[in-house]
A and B are shown apart, each in its own frame.
Chain A
Amino acid sequence: MMKHDTEIATPSVVESVKRPQMKPQFAVLIAGSIVLSMLLVIVSMYLYNESGAAQLDLSRPGYQDVRSQAQVTERFDGIDSAGEVNDRTLERFDELYSEQQAKILKQKDGFAPAVMRDDALDIKVE
């Protein structure tokens, strides 16, 4: 003979049936996801600043005026690391190296001290 579990419909049982119950595990899942993503953001921001990538990022605020001047440079392949060292290789290396050196020397006055002197900033110290 089958037994049937009968539940007496007490007021608290009726109440719990009417009210949808939010499982605590769901709240913990949401909160845990938020905490984990915050931690990952903190770690990535730390790496971004410490690695020096921040200094190369012209998309940061304060660089709007010069952003357009950072042109996409042509791909530079250099020379192959494997192969003979013959006249052709030496000639090619000489050509590429001189080209790069000329590009660098065009900006040899970069970070020149003159622009930050007191007179350049119009500062008078007595």
Chain B
Amino acid sequence: MKRISLLIVAAVVSLSVFAGVSGAPARAVDSEQGQLKPGDTSIYNLVRMDCLAVKFKLSKIHQEDGLLRVTLGQTYETTSSKLMARFNARIVENRLDGAELIGIAADYENALDTFRDNYQKYEIEMNSLMKADCQSQRQTYYLSIDSTRQLRNQVNADVQNLNKILGEYYDAFGEFRTSIKDDQEQKSNDEA
């Protein structure tokens, strides 16, 4: 019985160690993977960088992007859920013609989903970049910086797109407001 208990405890400890290792989000860069092969070296003959300084700057960018994601994301979400969605619901409840507003709000939601997904991809990549080996794999590290840069540019494009859609919604709201006023004037003229 004692042996069985010891075996069970040993199995549990091994499982815990395995779970801890596999659950860790950080992945160590395999020292064999990613190093440019002799045929690829024509791409970059020489990459000069101070690894510590580059990593420091990247960590600053990472921190500020994290903060921006939270603050900007909050505002995007509240605009969608507490303004657009509620106003559109009111339009529908009052049986008014707000098809354009509803369509733009749907585009906004899709754009917001895209922003969230792309930011997640960028952040995961940036995390890996900060933990990767720069000293011994300089060229590979530079390629990783480049791919992270592309992902970040995509996030920037998503932000610009969201801002553009916000502007479109506001313009459509202006037209809707004008049409409501015209309808009200028409009604009061008819009554007169």
Contacts and interface: CB of A to CB of B under 8 A. Distances in A.
A122 B58 CA distance: 11
A78 B148 contact: no
Given A76-B78, A103-B75, A82 B93 contact: yes
Given A97-B83, A121-B54, A107 B68 contact: yes
A19 B140 CA distance: 64
Contact of B1 (A24, A66, A81, A112): A24
B163 interface: yes
B15 A42 contact: no
Contact of B72 (A58, A76, A104): A104
A79 B9 contact: no
Given A63-B63, A80-B86, A85-B96, A110 B44 contact: no
Interface in B28-65: 44-50, 53-54, 57-59, 61-65
Given A56-B73, A78-B83, A123-B145, A42 B23 contact: yes
A35 B10 CA distance: 12
Interface residues of A, number: 67
Given A85-B90, A104-B79, A124 B119 contact: no
Interface residues of B, number: 81
Interface string B113-125: 0001101100100
Interface string A41-69: 11001100100101110100011011001
A76 B120 CA distance: 26
B91 A110 contact: no
A100 B87 CA distance: 15
A37 to B, nearest CB: 10
Contacts of B102: none
Contacts of B104: none
Interface in A75-92: 76-85, 89-90
B71 interface: yes
Given A27-B4, A70-B71, A104-B163, A58 B66 contact: yes
A21 interface: yes
Contact of B68 (A23, A34, A83, A110): A110
A56 B63 contact: no
Interface of B: 1-2, 4-5, 8-9, 11-12, 15-16, 19, 22-23, 25, 44-50, 53-54, 57-59, 61-76, 78-79, 81-83, 85-87, 89-91, 93-94, 96, 116-117, 119-120, 123, 130, 142, 145, 148-149, 152-153, 155-156, 159-160, 162-163, 166-167, 169-170, 173, 177, 180
